[in-house]
């Protein structure tokens, strides 16, 4: 019997859930993966099935229409989907680890009653922090909010917003008082049909192409006063703490990508014959797969540990940053090496190796670049009082 790490060991319920998502991905998503990638368009019927399966409201309490499960279950779903298609995984990831988590934790009871059932059952959400001048320097954002009686007026442009093309509910960050710096930043829930809100251009990307990435345009956008998420001036806190959870979701995406790449390369190594025998018999190939599998297992330990710490109510800032950094950096190494096992075929779209390679690169960029993760880890280790 294989040795099982206590951290990566799954309970019976967790194992059954992950297997259910895996089967769904293999049967309902895999046949359309390359078509969706080439067209840069995710199928609406698959998105609808995410809601029907309860994958869009995993942590939302049952009283609000969700399944009332754990953060760890969300991570398992993201991992299982990413093994087949990282684009599919990001829809479920953003919905659960960013949007739902933010509303559940920071929303008033009125906002929870209004939006959580919609997010669990029918409407896609998006998280809008980034701007042209505020990437890693997230709190230098230029989007402004102005209080006018019973509503706020928002003006600005958001960039690189995942799920932007399909989402109906957006968490948008704007500065209510620029003189206060980051302490003026406030989070708002904005609906797609609010006056003054529109979705701009869709980006043409290297990887996760079926996942939409767009700009958002706010031109005197009217937002009801009750749609403030958290408190005025506390948007920076909403952003930091929510992204900390989201980083674990990115780590889970990288797990699925690595697992899919290793499985594809292993299968090909058994089929490809050179010098009179399958290339899997060559020690060089064996060592490459063994090394990749070790990177995967180490990454899984970090990601699962951070997720279980979150569910246990423990502080997990350092662990989330480590998980995202390690998994994303090694996903690039693993997918590159697995692509090489395919030789020339790996560079073509006839096999999935090139897509795993393209899809993994974003893991080192969104929700905090690799350098930002290292900075977070270093600050925690060296300057924490």
Q: pLDDT value at position 134? A: 86
Q: pLDDT value at position 136? A: 83
The overall pTM is greater than 0.95? yes
- Name the region of 367 (left: φ>0; alpha: ψ -120 to 50; beta: rest): left
Cβ neighbours of residue 385 closer than 8 Å, sequence gap 6 or more: none
SS3 18: helix
Beta strands per DSSP E along the chain: 125-128, 144-148, 151-162, 169-175, 185-191, 197-202, 213-224, 228-229, 273-274, 277-278
> pLDDT in tens for each of the 385 residues of the chain?
355 577 889 999 999 999 999 999 999 999 999 999 999 999 999 999 999 999 999 999 999 999 999 999 999 999 999 999 999 999 999 999 999 999 999 999 999 999 999 999 999 999 999 999 888 887 889 999 999 999 999 999 999 999 999 999 999 999 999 999 999 999 999 999 999 999 999 999 999 999 999 999 999 999 999 999 999 999 999 999 999 999 999 999 999 999 999 999 999 999 999 999 999 999 999 999 999 999 999 999 999 999 999 999 999 999 999 999 999 999 999 999 999 999 999 999 999 999 999 999 999 999 999 999 999 999 999 998 7
Q: pLDDT value at position 2? A: 54
Instruction: State the Cα–Cα distance between residues 76 and 10, nearest whole angstrom.
Output: 10
Tokens of 385: 């009082």
Instruction: State the Cα–Cα distance between residues 119 and 136, nearest whole angstrom.
Output: 28
Task: Delineate the domains of the chain, giving CATH numbers in brackets.
Answer: 12-124 (1.10.540.10), 126-233 (2.40.110.10), 237-383 (1.20.140.10)
Say which of 131, 215, 245, 367 is annotated catalytic.
Answer: 367
Q: pLDDT value at position 4? A: 59
Q: pLDDT value at position 1? A: 38
Q: Which of 87, 83, 18 has its CA nearest to residue 53?
A: 18
pLDDT digit string (tens) for 229-252? 999 999 999 999 999 999 999 999
Instruction: State the Cα–Cα distance between residues 116 and 95, nearest whole angstrom.
Output: 11
Q: pLDDT value at position 139? A: 81
367 belongs to the catalytic site: yes
Instruction: State the Cα–Cα distance between residues 235 and 87, nearest whole angstrom.
Output: 28
Instruction: State the Cα–Cα distance between residues 250 and 69, nearest whole angstrom.
Output: 19
């Amino acid at each position: 019997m294989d040795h099982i790490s206590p951290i990566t060991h799954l309970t019976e319920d967790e194992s059954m859930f992950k297997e259910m998502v895996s089967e769904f991905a293999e049967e309902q998503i895999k046949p359309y993966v390359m078509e969706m990638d080439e067209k840069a368009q995710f199928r609406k019927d698959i998105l609808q099935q995410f809601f029907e399966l309860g994958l869009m409201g995993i942590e939302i309490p049952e009283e609000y229409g969700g399944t009332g499960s754990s953060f760890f279950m969300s991570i398992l779903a993201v991992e299982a989907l990413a093994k087949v298609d990282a684009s599919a995984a990001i829809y479920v990831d953003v919905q659960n680890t960013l949007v739902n988590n933010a509303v559940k934790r920071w929303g008033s009871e009125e906002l929870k009653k209004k939006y959580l059932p919609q997010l669990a059952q029918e409407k896609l959400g998006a998280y809008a922090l980034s701007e042209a001048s505020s990437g890693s320097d997230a709190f230098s954002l230029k989007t402004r909010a102005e209080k006018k009686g019973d509503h706020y007026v928002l003006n600005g442009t958001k960039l690189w917003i995942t799920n932007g093309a399909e989402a109906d509910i957006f968490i948008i960050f704007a500065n209510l008082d620029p003189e206060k710096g980051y302490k003026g930043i406030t989070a708002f829930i904005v609906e797609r049909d609010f006056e003054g809100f529109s979705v701009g251009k869709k980006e043409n990307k290297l990887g996760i192409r079926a996942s939409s990435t767009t700009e958002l345009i706010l031109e005197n956008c009217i937002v009801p006063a009750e749609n403030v998420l958290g408190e005025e001036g506390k948007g920076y806190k909403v952003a930091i703490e929510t992204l900390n959870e989201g980083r674990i979701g990115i780590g889970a995406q990288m797990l699925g990508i690595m697992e899919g790449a290793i499985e594809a390369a292993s299968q090909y190594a058994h089929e490809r014959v050179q010098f009179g025998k399958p290339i899997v018999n060559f020690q060089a190939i064996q060592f490459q797969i063994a090394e990749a599998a070790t990177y995967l297992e180490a990454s899984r330990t970090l990601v699962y540990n951070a997720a279980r710490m979150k569910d246990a109510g423990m502080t997990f800032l350092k662990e989330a940053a480590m998980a995202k950094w390690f998994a994303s950096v090694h996903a690039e190494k693993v997918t590159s090496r697995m692509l090489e096992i395919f030789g020339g075929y790996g560079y073509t779209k006839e096999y999935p190796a090139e897509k795993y390679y393209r899809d993994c690169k974003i893991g080192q960029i969104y929700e905090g670049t690799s350098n930002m993760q290292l900075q977070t880890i270093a600050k925690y280790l060296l300057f924490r009082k």
